[in-house]
Amino acid sequence: MKINGSAIRAGNVIEVDGRVWRVIKHNIVSPGKGGAFNQIEIRDVKSGTKSNMKFRSDETVEQLRVEEKDMQYLFADGDQYTFMDQENYEQITVNRELIGDGADFLADGMMASMQFIEGQGVVGVELPLTAVGTVVEADAVVKGQTAASSYKPAKLDNGARVMVPPFIATGEKIVVNIAERTYVERAKD
């Protein structure tokens, strides 16, 4: 299916020059002179190499049909992550590069959406929007610091580092936006 260059979004799987790419990020740029264009960051599905491309709205690109299936995360072995199909209990192992930095937030039993293309296998892994983590290390609050204007660094139990408001202390559970690696709120017990 052909789509306009301005319609390309993160998560799309496209074919350009005979290669299959997964769109990681996109940004519509409107320069002061000339027409707007879509600046995209893409990853080659087979080799894992990253690249950047620009598409104007009058250009078209082939968007590939992707089948999505929800699968449960089981375990990691080095850079290999294993997921299980809930219907037939088939297990699939993917490389960390395919998951991206969100792999830090994978927890036992977490559901993820696997994207497949016939003949290509798994081309993408979409994690939930948020995950819960426990703060294991947080800087002390500086007196006079206001919650609205400043954040402090904190380390979570999974090793990820995020910026949190000053009132968050060691031992607290927080909700984190996985894609942006940002604090959302305190976790409800």
Strand boundaries in the chain, DSSP class E: 2-4, 13-16, 19-29, 37-44, 50-56, 60-63, 67-77, 80-85, 91-95, 111-117, 121-126, 130-138, 152-156, 161-164, 173-177, 182-186
| Residues 121/123/125/126 CA torsion (nearest 10 deg) | -130
Q: Taking 60 as the threshold, does the pLDDT of residue 4 lie above it?
A: yes
User: How confident is the model over 45-63, as a mean pLDDT?
Assistant: 87
* pLDDT at position 125: 87
Element (H, E) at 98: helix 96-99
Instruction: Please write the tens of the pLDDT for every residue from 129-139.
Output: 999 999 999 88
Instruction: Please write the tens of the pLDDT for every residue from 137-175.
Output: 988 766 665 555 688 899 999 889 999 998 889 999 999
Model-level pTM greater than 0.75? no
* pLDDT at position 143: 65
> Comparing C-alpha atoms, which of 179, 180, 131 is closest to residue 156?
131
Query: Hey, what are 27's tokens?
Result: 């940004």
